[in-house]
Amino acid sequence: MSFDVNVILAQLPAILSGAGVTLLLWIAGTIGGATVGFLVAVGRRYGGRILGWPLGLAVEVLRGTPFLIQIFLLYYGGPFIGLALDPVPAGLLGLTIYGAAYFSEIFRAGFAAVPRGHIEAAECVGLSPSQIVRRILLPEMTVLVLPPAINMAVILMKETAILSIITVPELTLTVSAIGSQQYAFVESLFLLAVFYWVLVEVTDKLGRYAEHRLSRYRFSPT
């Protein structure tokens, strides 16, 4: 038995198509999750108990259950409540909801980490609440949450592989099918591992670059 790269080259169009679906779902799911997560964090911080309690409960449930179970319930259980989705929309919605739960905690911690003195100083010079959020909270919070947000983006990237369970035509499903058809499991899995490793490395380097660029805005606790 030998490693046959020709198997990969012969199936390159299908592999690129699967990689494209993976990238699209990852990017859209990360953006959607971060957006919804930010809104949830704002609701928990400023919405009082009326919003804070149910949002907090939803976050804890989502963070306390495996993504595999969540995506199964969404795809196979959704039709029982009138939510019948095709694999790709179900996968995207699942990633967004799952990511939102974790991003909301990241943003909530970022809000809490901004020194109260900075907000009080802004109030003393007459800034309105919206100006305080825009000029004080958001800039300082962005610097604080960037590292864990990048880490969460990497986690979501690897979670896209689970979507093959509901037949989303992403890279994992594609290379698994190629491996089964061509009896080339080693070549297929090696390609899959390299793809995710390269994507993680690129994301990590971009995150470190962004963190370095924003480090000038990091406040000193002293």
**111 in a structural domain:** yes
Residue 153, domain extent: 5-217
Q: Are 191 and 97 in contact (CB under 8 A)?
A: no
Look at residues 99, 92, 93 and name the one whose alpha carbon lies nearest to residue 39.
99
**175 in a structural domain:** yes
When pLDDT is cut at 50, 70 and 90, the band that residue 217 belongs to is: low
DSSP for the chain reads ----HHHHHHTHHHHHHHHHHHHHHHHHHHHHHHHHHHHHHHHHHHSHHHHHHHHHHHHHHHHTS-HHHHHHIIIIIGGGGT----HHHHHHHHHHHHHHHHHHHHHHHHHHHS-HHHHHHHHHTT--HHHHIIIIIHHHHHHHHHHHHHHHHHHHHHHGGGGGGGT--SHHHHHHHHHHHHT-HHHHHHHHHHHHHHHHHHHHHHHHHHHHHHGGGPPP--
Tell me the CATH number at 31.
1.10.3720.10
Residue 221's pLDDT is 46
**147 in a structural domain:** yes
Residue 134's pLDDT is 81
Q: What pLDDT digit, counting tens, does each position of 157-196 carry?
A: 999 999 999 999 999 999 999 888 888 888 888 999 999 9
CB neighbour list of residue 131: distance below 8 Å, 6 or more residues apart: 122
The yes-or-no verdict on residue 219 having pLDDT over 80 is no
Residue 135's pLDDT is 81
Task: Give the lowest-confidence range in 5-14, 82-91, 161-170.
Answer: 5-14
**40 in a structural domain:** yes
Residue 1's pLDDT is 55
When pLDDT is cut at 50, 70 and 90, the band that residue 10 belongs to is: confident
Q: What is the domain count for the chain?
A: 1
**222 in a structural domain:** no
Residue 53's pLDDT is 93
Residue 218's pLDDT is 60
**110 in a structural domain:** yes
Mean per-residue pLDDT, 88-92 = 97
**98 in a structural domain:** yes
Q: What pLDDT digit, counting tens, does each position of 41-72 carry?
A: 989 988 888 899 999 999 999 999 999 999 99
Residue 141's pLDDT is 86
Residue 12's pLDDT is 86
When pLDDT is cut at 50, 70 and 90, the band that residue 212 belongs to is: confident
The yes-or-no verdict on residue 15 having pLDDT over 50 is yes
**9 in a structural domain:** yes
